[in-house]
Amino acid sequence: MSDQRPLLYLSRLLPDPVMAKIRERYRLVEEPGDLSPSPSSLQAGLREAVAAIVTLSERIDGDTLVGASRLRILANYAVGYNNVDLTAAHGRGVIVTNTPDVLTDATADLTWALLLATARRVVEGDALVRAGGWTGWTATQLLGVEVAGRTLGIIGMGRIGQAVAQRAAGFRMRVLYQARRPIPPPLSGTWELRTLSEVLRQADFISIHVPLTDTTRHLIGRAELALMRQTAVLINTARGPIVDEAALVEALQKRTLAGAGLDVYEEEPRIHPRLLVLPQVVLLPHLGSATWSARIQMGMICLQNIEAVLGGRPAPNAVNDSR
């Protein structure tokens, strides 16, 4: 009897429990690898499939979708979907979905890991010890900045921004945020809505949590960096192009900004060469959602959305609706 399972295109390998579910329910157009496919193989895969799971590294525009006449859903394995041209997908009747909520805590935790690591020079300390350069305690070695009681500035107060703000209560921090509308704080806290420039001028730590869109590309450029305190630290776990990386490097080199903790970059996986040599910067390889739990749940959400669309039901996490 012929295999009736729908044909799915999967751009990269996902964690084992997700792969097991995928293989149980779908036929794969081809075996995925660990790395992002070439544009031509991505396009060829999408032409075959009725459903696809793609990741943030795959750029999907009108050209990519040419010939994808059977494709009904693109399940983006990420909460951000700036890699997909929604209008092009809409034009072809393809539903696009994302994976909100399940990675909120993972990303907020990683934001704090970067903030603390940058403030307390954790990576420099680790490197010193491993290199055998530690000769014993001194009162002046690797002094960092205090986090507790300082002001945290949050740019973009969606799910992840709010989760980052909630964690600040444990550090008795004042929270200023920039958003389109006021967000009610938890019962025990006070969050203060400010303009972008006010947040930049007043905060000791500034964390970015807006999506990447045409409006937020280079939202933090030379002029915005110039507003920040000389002692401030910038954290970015959102999307690289929200910050003008060349301007950031310049501010860090001139020491008009004290430090940065970065998980995302303008041209991933390329890192600005001058960032690599600045000790006051902590660099991570886009690990925001990289916990077992988040990455497995992200896969399960993609599958739920695919099942809904192929079953003729609305996708729970549609970010465009092409019907």
Q: What residues make contact with ligand DGY under the rule CB under 6 A?
A: 56, 78-80, 103, 288-289
Instruction: State the catalytic residue, choosing from 124, 250, 268, 307.
Output: 268
Catalytic residue among 121, 272, 286, 295: 286
Q: Indicate which residue of 150, 239, 272, 295 is catalytic.
A: 239
Q: Smaller CB distance to ligand DGY: residue 9 or 265?
A: 265
Residue number, 121 or 239, with CB nearest to ligand DGY: 239
Q: CB of 154: closest distance to ligand DGY in angstroms? A: 17
Which residue, 64 or 289, has its beta carbon nearer to ligand DGY?
289
- Residue 132 CB, shortest distance to ligand DGY, in Å, is 35
239 is a catalytic site residue = yes
Q: Which residue has the tokens 């059977």?
A: 70
Buried/exposed code over 234-268 (b: 16+ C-beta within 10 A; e: otherwise): bbbbbbbbbbbbebbbebbeeeebbbbbbbbbbee
Instruction: Please report how close the Cβ of residue 163 comes to ligand DGY at its closest, in angstroms.
Output: 14
Helix axes 292-310, 104-119, angle to 10 degrees: 150
Closest distance of CB 56 from ligand DGY, Å: 5
Of 68 and 103, the one with the shorter C-beta distance to ligand DGY is: 103
Between 156 and 200, name the residue whose CB sits nearer to ligand DGY.
Answer: 156
Within its chain, how far is the Cα of 183 from the centroid?
Answer: 21
Strands (E), 167-209: 174-178, 191-193, 205-208
Active-site annotation holds for 286:
yes
Residue 234, CA distances (Å) to 86, 199, 222, 225 in order: 30, 12, 13, 9
Strand, helix or coil at 233?
Answer: strand
Least CB distance to ligand DGY at residue 83 (A): 9
Unique residue bearing structure tokens 């990683």: 110
Sheet harboring 7-10: ordered strands across? 27-28, 7-10, 51-54, 73-76, 95-97
Catalytic positions, please? 239, 268, 286
